Amino acid sequence: MENLIVFIPESFFIKYFVYEIGWNNLTSEKELSEKSGPEHKLLISGKVKFRSPGSKKDNIISLVKNYNPKFAAIRVLYGGKKFNKEVVCDNLTIEKLEKLVAQSPLDIPAVIRLIKLIKEISPNIEIKLFFETAFFASLPDYEQVYALDKSLLKMDIRRYGYHGLIHKAVYDKIKNENPEVRKIISICLDPVPEIAAVIDGKPIMTSSGATPVEGIPGDTTCGELDPGILILIEEKKKYGAETLNEIITRQSGLSAIAGKQITISDVFKDEKDNKKAAKIFKYKILLQCGSAIAAMDGFDALAFSGRYVDAAHYFADWLIPELKRIAVKEFFPKIFYFNDSVEKVIANEYLN
């Protein structure tokens, strides 16, 4: 049997998933509301500290040696303009990645170190990179451009989406089983959540911005913020950019509203105890759905996905009628719950 190893670099760790490849089941079809995708057998998963240059390599070395994978896949958060689809990694790829460090200073260096280490351990492994932003490369200019001076926009300040792999998998799955569906509101409920409006497979609107921080508040990310607020905080507190970044990415979001460390899933499991956080989250979702509907002039389907897709079951009953009531004609949108995790999506994509 052959193995595939999927790496998902996150804030402090790199998660890994080793699959035994189930070649024969690649075309298996199940209901979207159930676990779906090819039946690769997950042999082992875990996480290792590998974000900083000084991190120990032992865990990854022993992992690669023990499971001897034929393929490796790495999820890359940001690919900028250089990567608008997945790529098999070669020396040129690394050169291109190095040019993106300024845009994604935490993620890209860790990815480069990981690639180099894998090649060092086992030069014959085929490494493929999957970029979350690639799906959003075709976002129309009027959606991606901020109203800033053109000289600033040259710094590749533009709007992307950061759950492109999931949104694309959601679209592919729906389209495969419901070819009549054209307009999808895709709601990815992850720690940093995101909504995308997708017409015929192309994104036309996203709630995220130049980074995943903009848009809907997440577990600890602030979401939409008046730019004047950071200016005020800096004027009054003189925190500096690093602390401000820490505040908006790790000390904000639903946790800040609830006054305790909390996830989106927690909020809806215990909505009574987290009323304010739930109300704010639902309101922001509704606003973004409204934008998505205006962007597409309607919608045929609503799809929930992401790590906290379970939370959707708690508020979908509220959201769907809210969205249906604005339609001038009665209509019946299709509702989907997509349970696949991003590592599974990557595994499927790699081997398809």
Partner 1 sequence: MNILVFNCGSSSLKYKMISMPEGKELFGGEVQRIASKTAKPSEIIHEAEGTKEIFVEDIKSHLEAFSEVMNIIEKKGYNKPDIFAHRLVKGSNQIGKDALLDEASFSFLEDLKELAPIHNPPIIEVIKACKENYPEVPQAVVLDTSFHLTIPDYAYMYALPQNLCKELGIRKFGFHGISHQYVSEEASKYLNIPLEKFNAISCHLGSGGASLCAIKGGKSIDNTMGFSPLQGLVMSTRCGNLDPSVLLKMLAYEEGDFSKVNKILNKKSGVLGLSGISSDIRDIIKAKEKDKKSAATLEIYLWRIKKYLGSYLTVLGKVDAIIFTDTIGETVPLIRELVCRNMDFFGIEIDEMKNRNVEKYPSEISSIESKIKIVVVKTNEELSIAKRACTLLENESVLVETN
Q: Does residue 264 belong to the site contacting partner 1 (CB under 8 A)? A: no
| Residue 251: CB minimum distance to partner 1, A | 5
To which residue do tokens 């708690």 refer?
Answer: 314
Residues in CB range of 6: below 8 A, 6 or more apart: 16, 17, 19, 72, 73, 74, 75, 343, 346, 347, 350
Q: Which residues pair with 87 in a beta bridge?
A: 129
- As a whole number of Å, the end-to-end CA separation of the chain is 17
Between residues 92 and 236, which has the closer beta carbon with respect to partner 1? Answer: 236
Closest approach, Cβ 103 to partner 1, in A, equals: 9
Q: Is 323 in the site for partner 1 (CB under 8 A)?
A: yes
Q: Using CA atoms, how far apart are residues 308 and 186, in angstroms rounded to an integer?
A: 14
Told to check if 143 binds partner 1 by CB under 8 A, we report yes
Interface with partner 1 (CB under 8 A), residue from 175, 245, 270, 314: 245
Q: How far is the CB of 305 from partner 1 (least distance, A)?
A: 21
For partner 1, which residue of 81, 116, 120, 259 counts as binding (CB under 8 A)? 259
The three-state secondary structure class of 191 is: coil
**Window 207-236: residues binding partner 1 (CB under 8 A):** 209-211, 213-214, 217, 221-236
When the beta carbons of 257 and 345 are compared against partner 1, the nearer one is 257
Give, as one character, the DSSP assignment of residue 328. S
Of the two residues 127 and 192, which places its CB atom closer to partner 1 in the complex? Answer: 192
Q: Shortest distance, CB of residue 232 to partner 1, whole angstroms?
A: 6
Question: Using CA atoms, how far apart are residues 68 and 73, in angstroms rounded to an integer?
Answer: 14
Q: Which of residues 64-93 bind partner 1 (CB under 8 A)?
A: none
Candidate list 240, 260, 261, 313; residue touching partner 1; CB under 8 A: 240
> In the bound complex, what is the minimum distance in angstroms from residue 161's beta carbon to partner 1?
12
Q: Please list every residue from 265 through 294 that binds partner 1, using CB under 8 A.
A: 276, 279-280, 282-283, 286-294
Q: Which of residues 147-206 bind partner 1 (CB under 8 A)?
A: 147-150, 152, 155, 157, 159, 205
Site size toward partner 1 (CB under 8 A) is: 72
Nearest distance from residue 141's CB to partner 1, in Å? 6
Between 88 and 232, name the residue whose CB sits nearer to partner 1: 232
Q: How far is CA 22 from the centre of its chain?
A: 25
Binder among 295, 301, 309, 311 for partner 1 (CB under 8 A): 295
- Token readout for 224 is 């939409």
- Give me the least distance between CB of 25 and partner 1, in Å please: 40
Work out whether strand 194-199 and strand 183-188 pair parallel, antiparallel, or are unpaired: antiparallel
Helices (H), the chain: 58-67, 91-98, 107-121, 141-144, 150-153, 164-177, 227-237, 241-250, 253-258, 264-269, 275-296, 309-324, 342-351
- The β-bridge relationship of strands 87-88 and 202-206 is unpaired
Residues in the chain: 352
